[in-house]
């Protein structure tokens, strides 16, 4: 795509500030440890109007418990490196999923169930603050369900399910209203990568777990928005009220 892979100072400062904001909003995220200004000059068309100018480059050092993504397992499954995939998956479980016993024959199934649940939780949290990731592909979805990439992200000023922060996303694939669906798509890719390591019964159970993703997301989304509105207890009209207020916000 003719990209040079470099970051400029303004976008790096923005990335630093956003990840810290997300952390203090209680949203699982990687964090920025430092920002270093480069002596290199980078050519950028900041406003996409043909006015290309030199800008200062910069590098953000990001920290996270793990940088393994769905794509980390997907690429091994695609290339048929199942022994390496199994070793990597066991390492990830041992290091980052202490509730899963390594001698459990269903450990990969338990791992998948946890990732499905936590991914639904993460995207619901994104939606609760109007955060649009911008590039929700499998390489940008953490297996630990944390926000690891701050590229063309954005926050909605007012509710708009068609909001897209990524100017290169002409098809609006990653619009904010589609983030939950893209999460499901990515999790289906994870399941596809795990299937060679599962027996027939586990494959069936994993498919059922994936089918429950939508309900898990909806429950968490509702919990978060009810908390915003100060709604206590359970009322059948709560979901209607949330949908109505979002629609009013869209029309304003």
Q: Six-digit token pair at 208?
A: 């059922």
Q: Is residue 45 annotated as part of the catalytic site, yes or no?
A: no
Q: Six-digit token pair at 140?
A: 């940008």
CA distance 120 to 216: 6
CA distance 190 to 63: 24
Residue tagged active-site, from 139, 160, 169, 238: 139
- Comparing CA positions, the residue from 242, 28, 249 lying closest to residue 133 is 28
Whether the CB-CB separation of 31 and 20 falls below 8 Å is answered with yes
CA distance 221 to 125: 7
- Laid out side by side, the sheet with 7-8 consists of 7-8, 53-63, 31-44
Q: Exposure string (b/e) for 12-42, b if CB count within 10 Å is 16 or more? A: bebbbebbeebeeeebbbbebeebeeeeeeb
Give, as one character, the DSSP assignment of residue 142: B
Whether the CB-CB separation of 166 and 135 falls below 8 Å is answered with yes
Give residue for tokens 């022994």.
83
**CA-angle at 189, arms to 186 and 194, nearest 5°:** 130
Catalytic residues: 139
């Amino acid at each position: 795509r003719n990209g040079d892979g470099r970051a400029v100072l303004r976008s790096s400062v923005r990335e630093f500030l956003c990840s810290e904001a997300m952390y203090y909003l209680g949203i699982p995220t990687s964090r920025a440890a430092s920002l270093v200004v480069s002596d290199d000059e980078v050519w950028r068309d900041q406003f996409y109007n043909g006015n290309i100018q030199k800008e200062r480059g910069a590098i953000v050092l990001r920290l996270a418990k793990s940088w393994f993504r769905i794509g980390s397992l997907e690429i091994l499954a695609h290339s048929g490196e199942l022994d390496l995939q199994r070793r990597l998956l066991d390492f990830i479980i041992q290091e980052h999923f202490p509730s899963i016993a390594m001698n459990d024959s269903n450990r990969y199934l338990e791992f998948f169930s946890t990732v499905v649940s936590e991914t639904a939780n993460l995207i619901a949290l994104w939606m609760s603050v109007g955060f649009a990731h911008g590039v929700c592909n499998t390489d940008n979805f953490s297996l630990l369900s944390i926000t690891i990439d701050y590229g063309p992200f954005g926050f909605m000023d007012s509710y708009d399910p068609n909001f897209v922060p990524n100017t290169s996303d002409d098809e609006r694939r990653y619009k904010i209203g589609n983030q939950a669906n893209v999460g499901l798509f990515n999790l289906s890719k994870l399941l596809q990568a795990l299937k060679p390591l599962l027996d027939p019964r586990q494959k069936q159970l994993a498919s059922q777990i994936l089918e429950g993703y939508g309900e898990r997301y909806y429950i968490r989304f509702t919990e978060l928005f009810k908390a915003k509105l100060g709604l206590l207890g359970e009322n059948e009209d709560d979901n209607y009220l949330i949908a109505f207020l979002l629609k009013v916000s869209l029309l304003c």
